[in-house]
Amino acid sequence: MIGLKELSTFGSFHPSVNFTYFVIVVAISMSTMNPWFLAGSFISAFAYTIILSGKSAIKFNIMFIIPIVLISALLNMLFMHDGVTELFYMYENAVTIEALIYGIMMGLMLSGVLMWLLCYQVIMTSDKFIYLFGRILPTIALTISMIFRYIPLIRKRFKEITEGQRCMGRDLKEGSFVDRVHQSVKEVSILIAWSLESSIETSDSMEARGYGIQGRTSFHLFHFSMRDLKMMILIVLLGGLIIAGNIADRTTIYYYPYIRYPLQDIYSYIVYGLYYILLILPIITDIGGEVRWRQLRLKA
């Protein structure tokens, strides 16, 4: 059940729902240093990257994400000397528990946000992005779509040019340095000429299909349904309550000189709970989707 990619049920929601979700989650986890928040965000983002991208995410998380946390903790511990609980002295500087914990929290925040962005990349495909921003700036949206079209095309052409030149006995990898520079300039210039010439035909084709007539609309395949509305309300409600709690200082924490919560009470725990619900929303949605799918298949 890992590596869902575009089969993700959460990803099948309306782009505006997906986008709102990521904006709220990332904003909240960047605006607070509360360990309850950061640990929750880290764990759920860690889990969700694996659900979305599978094995490659496990590898990436171990190779990059965990080192980020460790390095951040180490650096903060070595260079930050505030805090009252000394662990030991190094070159006459105190190394404190407060600095160590603050460093870990910084690491959790950075890596958590990073992992949320990775999830964002899987969920918000180019067409969703284009759709969202195309309504504000239609020409930009079309331009982006055209760029996405051109990147693979140009890559393919360049490969063909290199191969073609190689078959004329002109290889980029052989000959003197000057020869090779000369050859690469030639190949790039072929690519430019080819692309410019072909773009004339593209613009002909655009005009032939009426590009330039006043009142262009922007077509999309998305549909804002009842399910999207419910999810949107839930996300916004949760987000609103959590942010309200943060503003009311219920979740504020100070690390220096010593760790303390100025105003921790029952409301704080409610806010934490709400945040956890928000964090695991996509995970629950995806697991729920998978479970339902399997049940249906078993019945059939």
Partner 1 sequence: METIAFKGVSFTYPGCERKALDNITLSMGDSDFIVLCGKSGCGKSTFLRQMKKNLIPYGRFEGEVTYKGTDVSELDKRTCASRIGFVQQNPDNQIVTDKVWHELAFGLESLGFANEVIRQRVAEMASFFGIQNWFRKDISELSGGQKQLLNLASVMVMQPEVLILDEPTAQLDPLAASEFLRAVKRVNLELGTLIIISEHRLEEAFPLADKVILMDSAKVVMYDETEKVAAFLANKDNPHDMYYGLPSIMRIYSELLKQDRDAFADKNACPLTIREGRLMMEEYMGSKQASDEETDSIEGGGIGRMKQDIRLKSEAVENTRGDLVIEMEDVWFRYSREGMDVLRGENLYIRRGEWFALMGGNGAGKSTTLKAICGNIKPYKGRIKVDGKDIRKASVKELFDHRLGMLPQNPQAVFTEINCEDELFEAFAGSKVKDEVQTEKVNEMLELLQLSHLRKSNPYDLSGGEQQRLALGKILLLEPTILLLDEPTKGLDPFFKRTLADIFKKLKENGTTILMVSHDIEFCAEYADRCALFFDGTAISTSTSKRFFAGNNFYTTAANRVVRKWFPQAVTCEEVVDLCAGLST
- By CB under 8 A, name the binding residues for partner 1: 126-127, 142, 145-146, 148-149, 152-153, 156-157, 160-161, 163-171, 173-174, 186, 189-190, 193-194, 197-199, 201-202, 204-221
* Shorter beta-carbon distance to partner 1: residue 196 or 266: 196
Q: How far is the CB of 155 from partner 1 (least distance, A)?
A: 9
Least distance (Å) between residue 145 CB and partner 1: 4
Strands 86-90 and 93-96, bridge-based pairing: antiparallel
Q: Please, which residue, 92 or 197, has the CB nearer to partner 1?
A: 197
Burial class (CB in 10 A: 0-12, 13-18, 19+), 166: middle
In whole angstroms, the minimum distance from the beta carbon of 181 to partner 1 comes to 14
Alpha helices by DSSP H, listed for the chain, are 15-31, 35-53, 55-60, 66-79, 97-123, 126-134, 138-166, 177-208, 226-247, 266-299
As measured in angstroms, the least distance from the Cβ of 220 to partner 1 is 7
Residue whose structure tokens are 């914990």: 101
Shortest Å distance, C-beta 129 to partner 1: 12
Q: Which is nearer to partner 1, 224 or 269 (CB)?
A: 224
Name the residue nearer to partner 1 (CB basis): 182 or 230. Answer: 182
The whole-angstrom separation of Cα 165 and Cα 159 is: 10
Residue among 92 and 201 whose Cβ is closer to partner 1: 201
Phi-psi region of 56 (alpha: psi -120 to 50; beta: other; left: phi over 0): alpha
Nearest of 68, 69, 100 to residue 82 by alpha carbon? 100
